[in-house]
Amino acid sequence: MKQLIVYLVLTLLTFPATSCRKTDTPPITVFHFYDTLAVDGYSRSCLINLPPNYNDNPHFALVIALHGTAGSAAQMETDYKLTNKSNSAGFIIVYPEGVPSDGLLGIRTWNAGSCCDFAMQHNIDDVKFIKLLIQKLTANYKIDRKRIYVTGMSNGAMMAYRLGCELSDQLAAIAPVSGTLMTTAPCEPARKMPVLHIHSAMDTKVPFAGGVGLAGYYFHPVDSTLRVWAGIDGCAATPQVVTDTALYTQTQYVNCSNNTTVQLYLTKDGGHSWPGGLPARPAADAPSNAFDATDLIWEFFKKYELP
C-alpha cells in the first residue's frame, strides 16, 4: 500500500511537467524552399534556407542576402556559396528577389534610391518588402530578433545601405559588396550601425572612386559613403590602415560609439565581383583571390547583435 501511495504522488508531481511540453509544433522536414509575400500588388519571392540543426536549437541568427542587378536568389546562392556557409555556421539565410522588369528579360533590381532601373523608375517600396519579410520570418521561424543581418552584391549592396539607414532598429549589422550608398534622402538611422564594406580597386562598373559606371549611372565614391557611416557611428575622422598586403588593404574607422566599427576591405585584383566566389555570368569580372568574402562577412556578423 505504501509503495502504491509513493507511486501516485510521483505520478502527480511529474504530470504537469510533461503536459506542458510543446507537442503542437511538428519538426521541420523541408529546409530549403521558395516562399512569396504580397506587397503593394506584387507577389514578392524569396528563397529560404534553414540549417540542418534547425529542429535542435531554440533560435538562430538570420542573414538577408540581396542579389545584384539581373541576379536572382538561385544565382546568389550558387555563385557566392552562402548557403553552405549558413548551414555550417548554423544561421538561417533568406534570398529575397527584386521585382522583375516588364521587359523581355525580366531583370530584377532594387530601389536603392537613385538606382536602379525598373525598381527605381517605378518607386518600388523595397524597404517595406524587407520589413514585412522580417515580420513574416520572425513570426514563423526560430529567429533571434537581435541577430538579423543584411549583405548584398552591387545593386543589392546599395539596397543593404538603404536598409541600414531605414531599418536600423531591426538590423544588427550590414555588409555591402561592390556597391555604394545611393539614397536620395539623408541617411538618418535610429541607431549606430556596424558596417563592413568589400570592394575592388579594379571595379569599373561601380567605381570605388565614384563616377559613371554600369548602365550610365553615376555612383557615389565609396570613401564618401564610409565617411557618412563613420559620422553616424561617431568614429574618429580618419580611418586607420589595419592590413596592407599584395592583394588587399584593410582600413577601419576607430573609436566609434556603441562598440560599432566601419571597415573597408579593398582588393587590388578582381573587379565588380564577390571575392572568393564564382563569376555571376560568362562575361562577368573575375572574382578577387584576396580572401573569401562570405567567410569574412560571417565572422563580422558574429560580433554584433542589437542591444
What distance in Å separates the CA atoms of residue 298 and residue 104, rounded to the nearest whole number? 36
Domain ranges of the chain: 31-301
Which residues does residue 262 pair with via DSSP β-bridges, in sequence order? Answer: 195, 253
The superfamily in CATH containing domain 31-301 is Alpha/Beta hydrolase fold, catalytic domain (3.40.50.1820)
Q: What is the pLDDT of residues 18-29, one digit of tens each?
A: 333 333 568 888
Do residues 100 and 108 make contact, with C-beta atoms less than 8 angstroms apart?
Answer: yes
Q: What is the largest CA-CA distance in the chain?
A: 91
Q: Residue 154 has what DSSP assignment?
A: T
For residue 24, the model assigns a pLDDT of 53
Q: What is the pLDDT of residues 127-137, one digit of tens each?
A: 999 999 999 99
* pTM of this structure: 0.91
Do residues 70 and 107 make contact, with C-beta atoms less than 8 angstroms apart?
Answer: yes
For residue 186, the model assigns a pLDDT of 95
The pLDDT tens digits along the chain (307 residues) read 444 343 433 343 343 433 333 335 688 889 999 999 999 999 999 999 999 999 999 999 999 999 999 999 999 999 999 999 999 999 999 999 999 999 999 999 999 999 999 999 999 999 999 999 999 999 999 999 999 999 999 999 999 999 999 999 999 999 999 999 999 999 999 999 999 999 999 999 999 999 999 999 999 999 999 999 999 999 999 999 999 999 999 999 999 999 999 999 999 999 999 999 999 888 889 999 999 999 999 999 999 999 9
Task: Give the count of beta carbons closer than 10 Å to the beta carbon of residue 5.
Answer: 9
Sequence-ordered list of residues with C-beta below 8 angstroms from that of 274, at least 6 positions apart, any chain: 79, 80, 153, 177, 178, 280, 287, 293, 294
Long-range CB contacts for residues 240-246, cutoff 8 Å, separation at least 24 = 245/290
For residue 271, give the H/E element and its range. Answer: none
Q: Which of 69, 89, 71 is nearest to 80 (CA)?
A: 71
Do residues 179 and 116 make contact, with C-beta atoms less than 8 angstroms apart?
Answer: no
Amino acid at 265: Y
For residue 186, give the H/E element and its range. Answer: none
What cell numbers appear for 49 in the block? Answer: 534556407
Sequence-ordered list of residues with C-beta below 8 angstroms from that of 58, at least 6 positions apart, any chain: 142
